[in-house]
Structure 1
Amino acid sequence: NMSAGRPFRGCACFFTDNIFVARFGLHVRYRDGPQLRRDHGRALRERGCRSEEQFREVLREVEAEVQRRKQLIHQSVERRAIISKCYRPKHPEVYTLQDSFLAPEFLEIMRFCTSPGADLQGLLSYLESFSDKRIYRLPVFTEEFCQAFVDELENFEQSDMPKGRPNTMNNYGVLLNELGMDEPFLTPLREWLRPLTALLYPELGGACLDSHKAFVVKYSLHEDLDLSSHYDNAEVTLNVSLGKEFTEGNLYFGDFNQDPSPVPKYIEVQHVGGRGLLHRGGQIHGALPIASGQRWNLIVWMRSSAIRNQLCPMCRRKPELVEAEGFGDGFTEPLEEEEEPQTVDVCALG
């Protein structure tokens, strides 16, 4: 995958930063043991990590996660090759995005966004807005598609195919690039959304979202119940509720990570089948525990190389570029002749 002829890259901070210590609900940065103790010892103690043995366990956990991340690209490529060769889809039609999968209201919103004179004010009349946090809900998929898609995902889950974790915080779900869905399904979906994100999030590169990472997460009583507070490695996130039947498990949203307040105001948002929430990747959020049933969500982290090439959203530094596979983490190498832009068109940056 390329952006304007440039291959996508990752940032080296992936191997050192934002490592989640699940039992203490803490994200840490890791260089070595003494640094971990120095930077995070107090926060770990406050969360119940009080003995030396507990700290050593955390250290082992963190080191194992770093090793896992270092092997990730190679293992993902291997899994994808096996899946491509050996997996027999139950619903092969869901792998290629078709207009018929999209809710009629979604198509209507996109027609508005591409009409002459479309503006934010007009767009907001089509969307549900939540507080002042720039979180919006809109219909995305039909119920029929959601059912077929979840059925396909369950078929894959029950197969003996190799499976990667969606991310460091979810153990249950599917990385959609490993199912071969990036080009035929997710890239067209991102392109469908671009006129919408251009109006909603212009300063985040909403008009030039040029890559993504997409996965489906699954919550159930005996697996992942909930999700701790975090922000996404994305400029804009789409989170679509696919079903099935479940109770509770609302999402909650706090501050934007670049604009924290001393006492964050949280809001709760319910999932509605087939509908998607759009929010800024940097909006701190999490998921409350489900009380019964099973909840499947499609998460699409949408990225703009023009924005993130200036500043990595995870380490808040100029990205230190490393080789990556596919869309990587959405960074691109600077062009040789690139100069500082004279205008403030964010999509011309990068």
Structure 2
Amino acid sequence: QFGDQLAANGCDSEAKRAEVLTQLKTEFDRRSRLDAEAVKRIRVIQADYTPRHPEVYHLDDKYLRNQFRDVVDRCKRGDTLSQVLPFVDVIDAQKRVYKLEVFTEEFCRKLVEEVDHFNASSVPKGRPNTMNNYGILLNELGFDDHFLTPLREHYLNPMARVLFPDWVGGGAGGLDSHRAFTIKYSASADAELFTHFDNSEVTLNVCLGKEFAGSEVYFANFRTERRVSAAEAAVTAVEHRPGVGLIHLGQQMHGTLPVSDGERQNLVVWMRSSAVRNRLCPMCDLKPEPIPAIGFGDGFTVDANES
């Protein structure tokens, strides 16, 4: 079925095609096991893990910086994009990449300590994706109900409706699901991340710490535009500071430059709009055919009248 596409991308022999098919089968099998393995991990974590800082599992207004709260308040009261932009740091107006202070340094310190405490425990850990080998999935740790969902519903969704109205979807739903995780970069582990796009409509990426040098994030072109190299894109590289977040479109190509010293941890929230992705899958550009999943899955929904 995909013979022409494979040949155009260098798979011009039976041996090469067989190798690709083997890789595809391996990846299909891995994805088929994800939900069952996640359920097993969650049960063990709930039974055997004792948090170090249980208070960080519940969103509190005192964790949020003044700039973030001010911008959200302006969006909630109906300010337009032109009225809101003077109060955020515009990294690239054309790419719609914005920066603002999100979390206090005390909260960042406690969350890093919680993540390190969890990683040092004996309970099983699910990793965010195939690109990040040292982060953790925050829903498995229990952050969804009282931290991440309120953060998305009461703060991030109102802000995204103003900053990215064409990617939030109409109606009351807006950004109606998420996938959140931490990532970690160090010279001895994951040192950098190649250019990629996110499985999200809107992404929030907040630096938590620790001490590090380098590891800037760079923004390239939009996914559907001409690809540019990391060297070309690095002119728009942005330094990370603890508590400061970048908010951008998930389809905006970006990557991470090498960390030269120390360790950096970030909180990443992929936010999804079912109204947007139900029309077209953001990963393959085809009409989605949803299958059952635990939790939010990949953010697709099925109309009850169609099931």
Q: Does TM, normalized by the shorter one, top 0.5?
A: yes
> Residue 345 of structure 1 aligns with which residue?
none
Distance in 2, matches of 1:269 and 1:133, equals: 14
Q: How big is the shift at 1:40?
A: 3.8
- Greater shift, 266-275 or 243-252, is seen at 266-275
Larger CA deviation: 262-271 vs 120-129: 262-271
Return the letter of the residue paired with 2:89.
E
Q: Is the partner of 1:322 in helix, strand or coil? A: coil
Matched with 1:247 is 213
Q: Distance in 1 between matches of 2:116 and 2:228?
A: 41
- Mapping for residues 1-350 of structure 1, pairs under 5 Å: 38=7, 40-41=9-10, 62-115=24-77, 117-131=78-92, 132-191=94-153, 192-205=155-168, 208-258=174-224, 260-261=225-226, 266=233, 267-336=236-305
Assess, with a 3 A threshold, how the Cα gap between structure 1 residues 255 and 100 changes in structure 2: closer, same or farther. same
TM-aligned CA distance change 1:279 to 1:206, over 3 Å = farther
User: What per-residue deviation string (whole Å, max 9, x for no partner) do you get for residues 118-171 of structure 1?
Assistant: 111111011011122100001110000000000000000011110111111111
Shift in Å at residue 104 of structure 1? 2.1
For the 8 Å contact 1:244–1:294, the answer to whether it is kept is: yes
Please state how far the C-alpha of 1:37 moved relative to its aligned partner: 5.5
In 1, Cα distance between equivalents of 2:306 and 2:288? 19
Alpha-carbon contact 2:169-2:275 (below 8 Å) kept = no
| 1:90–1:110 Cα change, 3 Å | same
Residue type of the partner of 1:166? P
Rounded Cα–Cα distance in structure 2 between residues aligned with 1:60 and 1:255: 32
Task: Give the 3 Å change call, closer, same or farther, for CA 173–83 of structure 1 in structure 2.
Answer: same
* Secondary structure at the counterpart of residue 78 of structure 1: helix
- Tell me if structure 1 keeps the 8 A contact 2:209–2:264: yes
Match of 1:19 in 2: none
Residues in 2 aligned to 1:155 and 1:276: alpha-carbon distance in whole angstroms:
23
In the alignment, is the contact (CA less than 8 A) between 1:197 and 1:206 conserved in 2?
no
The alpha carbon displacement at 1:335 in A equals 4.1
Question: 1:79: how far off?
Answer: 0.3
Amino acid of the structure 1 residue aligned with 2:166: E
Gaps of 5+ in 1: 1-30, 46-51, 339-350
SS at match of 1:315: coil
Question: Structure 1 residues 93 and 262 mapped into 2: Cα distance closer, same or farther (>3 Å)?
Answer: closer
Asked if structure 1 preserves the Cα contact closer than 8 Å seen for 2:221 and 2:227, the reply is: no
Give the residue type in structure 2 aligned to 1:110: V
Distance 1:324 1:262, change over 3 A: closer
Report the 3-state secondary structure (helix = DSSP H, G, I; strand = E; otherwise coil) of the residue aligned with 2:240: coil
Cα distance, 1:57–1:335 mapped onto 2, change above 3 Å: closer
Aligned-partner Cα distance in 1 for 2:37–2:258 = 31
Query: Could you say what secondary structure the match of 1:148 adopts?
Result: helix
Contact 2:184 2:263 in 1 (8 A): yes
Looking at structure 2, the residues matched to 261 and 100 of structure 1 have their Cα atoms a distance apart, in angstroms, of 43
Q: Which amino acid aligns with 1:128?
A: D
Gaps of 5+ in 2: none
Deviation at 1:321, TM superposition (A): 1.0
Tell me the distance in 2 between the aligned counterparts of 1:147 and 1:36. Answer: 48
Q: How far apart are residue 336 of structure 1 and its match? A: 2.0
Q: Structure 2 CA distance, aligned partners of 1:170 and 1:297?
A: 11
Give, in angstroms, the shift of residue 262 of structure 1.
Answer: 6.7
- Taking only aligned residues, the RMSD between alpha carbons, in angstroms, comes to 2.5
Q: Report how far residue 112 of structure 1 moved.
A: 1.6
State whether residues 206 and 236 of structure 1, in contact with CA within 8 Å, keep that contact through their aligned partners in structure 2.
no
